[in-house]
Structure 1
Amino acid sequence: MKTEIKLIDYLSTRRSIPAFQMGEPGPSKGEVEAMLTLASRVPDHGKLAPWRFIVYRGEERRRISEALAKIAIGDKPELSEEMVKVENTRLTRAPVVVAVVSRAAPHFKIPEWEQLMSAGAVCLNMVIAANAHGFSSNWLTEWYAYDPRAYAILGVNEGEKIAGFIHIGTPTVPPTERPRPELSEIVTWVGDDT
């Protein structure tokens, strides 16, 4: 039975689980569609939807991972056996991986920067939506998010870029806390103190 928590409680304890620490079950197609619906509810100046989703599920994740591994091994034939294994499992660590693809482009009114930030907001909303459905999630990029040679393998079109891969599954270990920045180190106050 899933328990409901208040948003403030969730935000104060939100943590990512590493993708390799996720297992089955993953979300169903209907649950993924519900997550995508929630994820797309982000600030989007001009209503451009300058992003789209690619959902990787099932055995196709293995085929894509192995194709990506060929690129990595071709670039670095000296990769250790352990790193070859990592490369061969890029999209199989979690049961479902969702690519958030940025379609940001020059626009007469909306700066590309705003479009890129909207894609980033989609990534975070996807993480939150997965958590709201009772799953763990992790927003990753890694080398293949930036390598145009990987784009055809991943289903990314010319002119598009990867904003992030959201790995979704069931945690196999409890989440651990990590150090967070002190507000005094990241906040500048301008104006009166009241």
Structure 2
Amino acid sequence: MTADDLHLLNTRHSVPSRQLGEPAPDAASLARLLEAAVRVPDHGKLVPFRILTLRGDAKLAFGAQLTAMALAKHPDMPESKREKERHRYTFAPLVLVVVAHIHRDSTVPEFEQNLSAGCVAYNMLLGAQALGFGAQWLTGWAAYDRDVAALLGLADNEHVVGFVHMGTATMDTPDRDRPSVDGIVSEWTP
């Protein structure tokens, strides 16, 4: 093993969605990325996840509907937040919606199923970077709202894990400070 073997993990960072533009991965690259992204721990082989793609006019329509929902739910929203809602889906050319598909009749705890779906979202970030693209995993109010879930056509046993915005970075993104391993790792002793 060499230092280069962990290069992707050691350089992984999110690119803010506002700094993502064209192009997004083409069909072949996206297929390769998604095939890799679903290679996650999956206790019980349940495949407790699925993925929706948002792009083009559909992505913009989704963003407009979310804006209308947000304003209806919070009519006193400050103008700065209204502006953020209006533009949230106008930057990145591709948004992948990672959905947890929970098998409630399984002996595998729901928490583990959610972790599996979360790993798909994280693998998308790694895969995008490996292919030379930028990505950001976002949640926000829309990930937890059942009206948004209905808009996306989600079943009662499904919920959004995250919206992975993807495209080409339009500027360099400085890395942020990372935690010191010394401060978070300790050895357990009996």
Structure 1 length normalisation: TM-score? Answer: 0.90
Report the equivalent of 1:114: 112
| Equivalent residues of 1:97, 1:165 under 8 A apart | yes
In the aligned structure 1, how far is the partner of 2:118 from the partner of 2:35?
16
**Corresponding residue of 1:44:** 42
Task: Give 3-state SS (helix, strand or coil) of 1:137's partner.
Answer: strand
Give the C-alpha shift of residue 95 in structure 1: 0.6
Question: Percentage identity across aligned positions?
Answer: 39
Q: Structure 1 stretches (4+) deviating beyond 4 angstroms?
A: none
Q: 1:7 to 1:19 in 2, by over 3 A?
A: farther
Q: Corresponding residue for 1:128?
A: 126
Alignment of 1:16-55 (within 5 A): 16-55=14-53
Shift of 1:159: 1.8
Residue 170 of structure 1 corresponds to which residue in structure 2?
168
Match of 1:71 among 69, 92, 100: 69
Map Cα deviations across residues 102-127 of structure 1 (whole Å, 9 max, x no partner).
Answer: 01232443121211110111111111
- 1:6-38 CA-to-partner distances (Å, cap 9, x unmatched) read 441121111111001111111122222221111
Structure 2 regions of 5+ residues with no counterpart? none
Query: 5+ unaligned residues in a row in structure 1: which ranges?
Result: none
User: Are 1:93 and 2:105 matched, yes or no?
Assistant: no
C-alpha contact (below 8 Å) 2:49/2:99 kept by paired residues: yes
Shift of 1:79: 2.6
1:80 aligns to what?
Answer: 78
* 1:153 equivalent in alignment to 2:158: no
Matched residues in 2 for 1:26 and 1:6: separation?
A: 26
Please state whether the residue corresponding to 1:77 is helix, strand or coil. coil
Find the counterpart in structure 2 of residue 144 from structure 1: 142
Structure 1 residues 120 and 126, CA gap change in structure 2 (3 angstroms)? same
Task: Confirm or deny: 8 A CA contact 1:68 1:153 kept in the other structure.
Answer: no
Taking the aligned partners of 1:77 and 1:112, their CA distance within structure 2 comes to: 35
Whole-angstrom distance in 2 between the partners of 1:14 and 1:62: 28
Farther off after superposition, 93-102 or 149-158:
149-158
Per-residue CA distance 1:49-98 (angstroms, 9 max, x = gap): 00000011111111111111111111222333332222122222201000
Whether contact under 8 Å (2:99, 2:160) holds in the other structure is yes
- 2:11 maps to a residue whose letter is T
The residue number in structure 2 matching 1:61 is 59
1:181 alignment partner AA: P
- Partner of 1:27, secondary structure, is coil
Q: How many residue pairs are counted as aligned between the two chains?
A: 188
